[in-house]
Amino acid sequence: MSKVAILLGPDFEDSEFSVPRDALVDAGHDAVVVGPEKGKELTGKRGDVTFRADVGIADVDPEDFDAVVIPGGYSPDKLRTDERFVDFVSQATQRQTPIFAVCHAPSLLIEADVVRGKTMTSWPSIRTDLENAGANWVDQQVVRDAPFTTSRNPDDLPAFSKALLDELGASRGAQRETAANRS
């Protein structure tokens, strides 16, 4: 199964963390919560979900993950001021690691300067930021423009989670095919 980094800071949108994380875990994937520091308690902006970071950003390498999930809320805006998270996203993009960003999460992608020429969606208040950073913004439930999959809001989480699981299934198939070709 796949190893997925979930980049999380304080005041994340509760459901945008818990719904995709639960979908990953239920499907047998290794969902690793990457926070500012290992063991740091992070609470959602609604106060419904609290989670301790499995690892700190200083202790991870994007190369170790098959995908990245960035929940929305205020978390991505806080993470974008931490160069370690910005560098992680930049390196993951360079490696073409699938990155899943929902709601306000593209703000971290904007900070990493990786959205130019990409078609994306987001919460409406991020639209102008994405367009100013060179992205083409569309109002759709889920938008895929490799390596990114973006979504608008908590109402889109079922489709977002399905796209995440579908991509990981495709990634596993590609990994098996590559391994078979090396044999």
3-7 and 67-70 strand pairing: parallel
**CA 86 and chain centroid, separation:** 12
CB count within 10 Å of CB 110 equals 22
Cα 36 to Cα 6, 77, 134, 174: the distances in Å are 12, 13, 28, 32
Cα 84 to Cα 28, 34, 150: the distances in Å are 28, 11, 22
Element of type H or E holding 6 = strand 3-7
Please tell me whether residue 66 adopts helix, strand or coil conformation.
coil
Q: What CA–CA distance (Å, rounded) separates 107 from 127? A: 10
H helices present in the chain, as ranges: 14-26, 75-79, 83-94, 106-111, 127-132, 157-182
* Active-site hit among 32, 69, 103, 108: 103
Instruction: Give catalytic status of residue 62 as yes or no.
Output: no
Residues annotated catalytic, as ranges:
103
